[in-house]
C-alpha cells in the first residue's frame, strides 16, 4: 500500500529519514534558473461531472476523419477496417499481453504472432519474417544496418523518392554507426536508375527503395534491383502492404529485405500512431536480422506448439552480442493486421487495392480537368499521386482553407522537397466515395485561381 504524507509532521519525518533538511534539498541538482519560482496558474478543482464536460469540450475541438473527408496520406492512410478487427484485439488476453516469454502460458498470443509472420511472408514473397518492428522507418534502418554487418561495408544508398521520415531515421542510425549515407535522385517521380548506378560503389552495402514510393509512383523494381545486383549490392524495399494486393511482390525481384508500414492493415490513423513495422528477408539472414521470431514446433507427444526462437537480439540473453537494440514488438497492432488480412483474404485484399486504384485514378482525372491543376508525374500509381498547383498561394495555405470546407486535402510536398514548390500529394483509399471525390474537386476549384465559388 502506498503512503502519501499529508501533514507537516509527516513531511518532516520523511525528510529526516533521508537526511534532507528541506524539500528544496531534493531539487539541489536542478539549477535555480530552471525551477518554477511561483505557483502554476491553474484553475480550481472540478467535480467529476464538470471534468467530463470539460474533457468533452476539449475533444470536440479535434478535427479527425469523423468530421473531415480525408485525402491525406503520406505514409498513414484512412483504410477501412472490418469490425471483427476491434472485436478480436479488444479481448483482454490480447489487449493486456506483453512479450510472451513463457510459451506454456502464451500459446494464443504466440500463434497470432506466428500467423502474422506467415502472412507477411506470403504478401512479400520472402522466406521469413520477424514478429514486427516499431514502424516502417525503423524497419528500413534496421535492414540497412543488418546488411552493412553482413557485407562488412559501411555505405548505404537511398533513393530520394523514399519517404522523408524513413530517410531521416536512416540517417540517424547511420550517423550513430559510422555508416555513410548517400542519396540518389529521382526523375519523373521515380528513382533514376542512372543516378542509382552512379551512387553505388565497392563500399556500398545496400540500396533502399520504396514501392510504391513516397510520391505514390510505382517503381521499376526489375531495373533497380538489376542495377544493385550488377554492382554486387544488396537491396531493401519498403512496400505498401495494401498495394501488394495488386503489385508483383518484391521477393519475386530477388530483393534481399522487404520492410514496410502495416498501419493500413486494420489500424486507425490515430494522429500518427501507433504504427506497425514489418520486416521480411531471405533465409540466409536468419541469424542476423533484428527482432524476435515465433516458431512452430511439436512436443514429445506430437502436439503442435509455438515458441519464440532465434532471439539473438534479446537483452536478457546476451546483451553484448545482440544484433539490434530494437527491444520490443507491436504485437497488438500486428494482431490487428493479422485479423484484417484473414478477414479479407487474398481476394478481398486485391479488391481493396483495386478500389484504391480505380478511385485514385478517377480523382486524378477529375482534378486534371481543373485549369489550375496538372499531374506532377507521368508514372503509374495505385492510391496516391501528386499534382502541381498553379497558384502563387502556398499549398499549405490551400490545405488550411480546405479544412474549413470539410477536407484534409493532402500533403504539401515542398515541406520535404524544396524543388517541388506548389505540389500537393493526394491519397485516395477505398473509403472514398464518388460523391466525396466530386465534392473535393468542387471545393478545390472554388479555392483555386479562376475557379467558381
pLDDT of residue 191: 97
pLDDT of residue 1: 42
The domains of the chain are located at 69-79+345-447, 83-340
- Would you say residue 258 has pLDDT above 50? yes
pLDDT category, 5, cuts 50, 70, 90?
low
- Would you say residue 447 has pLDDT above 70? yes
pLDDT of residue 27: 87
CB 302 within 8 A of CB 276: no
150: CB partners within 8 A, 6+ apart: 205, 234, 285, 288
Q: How do residues 67-84 score in pLDDT, each as one tens digit?
A: 999 999 999 999 999 999
Q: State the number of CA atoms in the 13 A half-sphere of 303 facing the CB.
A: 5
Handedness of CA 184, 185, 187, 190 (dihedral sign): positive
The hierarchical CATH code for the domain 83-340 is 3.40.640.10
pLDDT of residue 329: 67
State the DSSP H helix or E strand holding residue 347, giving kind and residue range, or none if neither: helix 331-368
pLDDT of residue 316: 53
For strands 257-261 and 277-281, give the pairing. antiparallel
pLDDT of residue 311: 64
CB 384 within 8 A of CB 216: yes
| Minimum mean pLDDT range among 99-108, 371-380, 438-447 | 99-108
The C-alpha cell that represents 39 in the structure block: 505557483
Q: How do residues 400-411 score in pLDDT, each as one tens digit?
A: 999 999 999 999
Q: How many residues does the chain have?
A: 453
**Grid coordinates 478535427 are at which residue?**
63
pLDDT of residue 36: 85
Q: End-to-end distance of the chain based on CA atoms, in angstroms?
A: 65
**Mean pLDDT value across residues 359-368:** 97
- Would you say residue 320 has pLDDT above 50? yes
Q: Report the percentage of the chain scoring pLDDT > 70.
A: 94
Instruction: Choose between 246 and 331: higher pLDDT.
Output: 246
pLDDT of residue 453: 57
pLDDT category, 328, cuts 50, 70, 90?
low
| Minimum mean pLDDT range among 29-43, 176-190, 254-268 | 29-43
pLDDT of residue 315: 47
> 429-435 contacts: CB < 8 A, separation 24 or more?
429/73, 429/77, 429/78, 429/79, 429/80, 429/356, 429/359, 429/383, 430/79, 430/80, 430/352, 430/355, 430/356, 430/359, 431/70, 431/78, 431/79, 431/80, 432/69, 432/71, 432/359, 432/363, 434/359, 434/362
- Would you say residue 215 has pLDDT above 80? yes
pLDDT of residue 319: 63
What is the CATH architecture assignment of 69-79+345-447? Alpha-Beta Complex (3.90)
Amino acid at each position: 500500500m502506498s503512503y502519501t504524507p499529508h501533514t507537516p509532521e509527516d513531511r518532516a519525518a520523511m525528510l529526516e529519514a533521508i537526511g534532507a533538511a528541506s524539500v528544496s534539498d531534493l531539487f539541489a541538482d536542478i539549477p535555480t534558473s530552471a525551477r518554477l519560482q511561483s505557483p502554476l496558474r491553474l484553475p480550481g478543482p472540478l467535480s467529476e461531472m464538470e471534468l467530463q464536460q470539460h474533457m468533452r469540450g476539449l475533444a470536440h475541438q479535434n478535427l479527425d476523419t469523423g468530421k473531415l473527408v480525408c485525402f491525406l496520406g503520406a505514409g498513414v492512410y484512412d483504410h477501412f477496417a472490418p469490425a471483427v478487427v476491434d472485436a478480436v484485439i479488444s479481448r483482454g488476453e490480447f489487449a493486456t499481453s506483453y512479450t510472451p516469454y513463457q510459451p506454456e502460458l502464451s500459446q494464443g498470443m504466440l500463434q497470432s504472432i506466428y500467423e502474422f509472420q506467415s502472412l507477411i511472408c506470403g504478401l512479400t514473397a520472402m522466406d521469413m519474417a520477424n514478429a514486427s518492428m516499431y514502424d516502417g522507418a525503423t524497419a528500413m534502418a534496421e535492414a540497412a544496418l543488418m546488411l552493412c554487418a553482413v557485407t562488412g561495408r559501411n555505405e548505404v544508398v537511398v533513393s530520394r523518392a523514399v519517404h522523408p521520415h524513413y530517410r531521416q531515421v536512416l540517417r540517424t542510425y547511420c550517423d550513430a554507426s559510422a555508416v555513410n549515407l548517400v542519396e540518389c535522385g529521382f526523375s519523373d517521380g521515380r528513382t533514376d536508375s542512372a543516378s542509382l548506378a552512379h551512387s553505388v560503389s565497392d563500399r556500398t552495402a545496400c540500396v533502399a527503395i520504396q514501392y510504391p514510393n513516397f510520391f505514390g509512383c510505382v517503381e521499376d523494381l526489375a531495373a533497380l534491383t538489376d542495377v544493385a545486383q550488377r554492382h554486387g549490392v544488396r537491396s531493401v524495399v519498403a512496400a505498401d502492404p495494401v498495394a501488394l494486393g495488386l503489385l508483383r511482390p518484391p521477393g519475386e525481384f530477388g530483393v534481399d529485405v522487404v520492410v514496410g508500414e502495416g498501419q493500413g492493415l486494420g489500424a486507425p490513423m490515430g494522429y500518427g500512431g501507433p504504427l506497425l513495422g514489418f520486416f521480411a528477408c531471405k533465409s540466409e539472414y536468419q541469424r542476423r536480422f533484428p527482432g524476435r521470431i515465433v516458431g512452430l514446433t511439436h512436443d514429445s507427444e506430437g502436439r503442435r506448439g509455438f515458441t519464440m526462437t532465434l532471439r539473438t537480439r534479446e537483452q536478457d540473453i546476451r546483451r553484448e552480442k545482440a544484433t539490434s537494440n530494437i527491444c520490443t514488438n507491436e504485437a497488438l497492432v500486428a494482431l490487428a493486421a493479422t485479423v484484417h488480412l484473414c478477414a479479407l483474404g487474398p481476394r478481398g485484399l486485391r479488391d481493396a487495392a483495386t478500389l484504391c486504384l480505380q478511385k485514385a485514378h478517377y480523382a486524378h482525372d477529375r482534378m486534371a480537368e481543373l485549369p489550375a491543376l496538372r499531374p506532377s508525374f507521368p508514372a503509374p500509381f495505385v492510391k496516391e499521386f501528386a499534382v502541381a498547383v498553379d497558384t502563387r498561394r502556398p499549398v499549405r495555405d490551400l490545405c488550411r482553407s480546405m479544412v474549413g470546407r470539410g477536407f484534409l486535402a493532402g500533403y504539401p510536398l515542398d515541406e520535404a522537397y524544396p524543388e517541388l514548390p506548389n505540389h500537393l500529394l493526394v491519397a485516395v483509399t477505398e473509403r472514398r466515395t464518388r460523391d466525396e471525390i466530386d465534392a473535393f474537386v468542387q471545393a478545390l476549384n472554388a479555392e483555386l485561381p479562376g475557379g467558381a465559388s
